[in-house]
Amino acid sequence: MNTIIGTYECKVDTKGRLMLPAPLKKQLSQEVNQGFVLKRSVFQPCLELYPMNEWNVMMQKINKLNRFVKKNNDFIRRFTAGVKIIEIDATGRLLIPKDLVVFAGIDKDIVLSSAVNIVEIWDKDKYEKSIDDSVMDFADLAEDVMGNLNDEDGIS
């Protein structure tokens, strides 16, 4: 799968349905028939939408963990807590199950944010707060994460 690009604002109705924005729907068009997995984020109060092929890659990694190691078993249980298979209907709508709406604190306005190969689904206020909170730290974070990487031409 190619990298998913973009941040989109949209609304979720009282039943937890959202209409995928056209540019995002177009990017995910090849994955629509295979379905998606929706799960709680590990680090943030948001949801993660995995195209099924990306989920399968993640599960291959997780399946290599020794389940007789308690930490591994605990991690697997928590990582897969609340996981749901999701389909996008013919009109381009996606239904967020109630338990996941509650987990992410989703109200009405949401943000769909690309995160390389998955899409994060945020309550808009929580998303804005997470971006604002990290502004001051982002330069240090970028240096820590990317500062020692150079491409083959020596350009960073």
Nearest to 108 by CA among 26, 37, 11: 11
Q: Are the C-beta atoms of 16 and 96 separated by less than 8 Å?
A: yes
What is the CATH topology of the domain spanning 7-124? Chemotaxis protein chec (3.40.1550)
pLDDT tens, 71-127? 999 999 999 999 999 999 888 899 999 999 999 999 999 999 999 999 999 999 999
Q: How confident is the model at residue 155 (pLDDT cuts 50, 70, 90)?
A: very low
pLDDT tens, 15-70? 999 999 999 999 998 888 899 999 999 999 999 999 999 999 999 999 999 999 99
Burial of 153 (0-12, 13-18, 19+ CB in 10 A): exposed
Determine the length of the chain: 156
